[in-house]
Amino acid sequence: MDSQFAFRRYCLAFRHPVRTSHGPWTEREGLYVRVEHPDGTVGLGEAAPVPGFGTETVAEDEACCRSLGGRLGDDAISRVPGHLRALRNALAFAIGGSADNPRHSSLGMAALLPAGRAALAEAPPKADAGFRVFKWKVGMAAAEDEMSLLDDLIGALPPGSRFRLDANGAWDRRTAEKWLDRVSERPVEFVEQPVAHGAKGADDCLVGLAADYPTPIALDESIAGEADVGRWLDRGWRGYYVVKPAVVGDVRAVLARLAKAHARVVFSSALETGIGAQAALRLAFAWQGKALSLGFGVWPLFSDPRFDGPAAAPFLRIDDVNRINPEALWSAAS
Ligand code: MG
């Protein structure tokens, strides 16, 4: 029997513009899908594509939702084109539910630091609150300046603190080498996406850097789709995989492959709202590999706090995830 289908597009202002390599990002666009099954149960999903991440636009998702009509048969997901990755995941969660059996009752969270010198003021209070893993955006200023800032940061934090440095592909190979050399004796858990993906030779460059330096490298922009993850697994990549469940294609299949390969997976936010975050975090809590600190320390994020997930804390409990009420967000988006 068919299910009833509806969708709502949203556009939400961030509390503060998000700095990206494409310039400031001021509002989050996405859409919610709602499926009411014949037995009266309801499932919700969120499609939150990330601009510049090689995935679909919200307009494409909206057009596709319109074409699906008001009723969904069993073939609904197969009617969504493969490149609409965020929408396919949203529908899969809305139709099939997002509850996998949790394997953890709480998971550590990385504190998100602002880029540049502002991190020096924000990091110590976060350490006082209990955070020990700190994510810091780099590649925004001259490497020498950022390297000495990193040392100031390390000096300002308690022993045992660790850093995740995210360059968002901003460095050339030489700069990446300088950084990896520098951090080889610093408490750096990994360096994320040191060089850009997509350019000719980019994959070989990442493999070379990983072979030449002891600090692990994490892939983020390089693994936007399931084909990318497959390609890196086939290459035997032993670094980290930053998985944004909202935008990686066919996320359950991708995670199954990563688990089989005993890959190191960091679950990370795509700056989605609570509906998508709940689905993504449930996957993180169900992850059968080693539990690494979550990259979800982003909230409060929106001007309208009803759309936020749980406020960033050193540990996130599964109860905090389950407390998110998708129907309330759906109503708020009307
Ligand atoms: Mg990243």
How close is the Cα of 66 to the center of ligand 1, in Å?
32
Q: Does 137 participate in catalysis according to the annotation?
A: yes
Residue type, 228: D
Peptide bond between residue 300 and the one before it cis (omega within 30 degrees of 0): yes
Q: Name the burial class of residue 26, with classes exposed (0-12), middle (13-18) and buried (19+) by CB atoms within 10 angstroms of its CB.
A: exposed
Q: What CATH number should be reported for the domain whose range is 3-96?
A: 3.30.390.10
Q: Cβ(285)–Cβ(275) under 8 Å? A: no
* β-bridge mates for residue 171, sequence order: 195
For the chain, 334 residues long, give each residue's pLDDT as a single digit of tens: 799 999 999 999 999 998 776 789 999 999 999 999 999 999 999 999 998 777 799 999 999 999 999 999 888 999 999 999 999 999 999 998 766 899 999 999 999 999 899 999 999 999 999 999 999 999 999 999 999 999 999 999 999 999 999 999 999 999 999 999 999 999 999 999 999 998 889 999 999 999 999 999 999 999 988 899 999 999 999 999 999 999 988 899 999 999 999 999 999 999 999 999 999 999 999 999 999 999 999 999 999 999 999 999 999 999 999 999 999 999 999 8
Which pTM does this prediction carry? Answer: 0.95
For residue 73, how far is its CA from the centre of ligand 1 (angstroms)? 37
| CA 169 to centroid of ligand 1, rounded, Å | 9
Query: pLDDT tens digits for 198-243?
Result: 888 999 999 999 999 999 999 999 998 889 999 999 999 999 999 9
**Annotated catalytic residue: which of 126, 135, 137, 200?**
137
Which residues share a beta bridge with 267? Answer: 243
DSSP state of 82: T
> Domain limits of the chain?
3-96, 106-326
Are 9 and 157 spatial neighbours (Cβ–Cβ below 8 Å)? no
To which residue do tokens 């009420």 refer?
Answer: 325
Q: Does domain 106-326 have CATH number 3.20.20.120?
A: yes
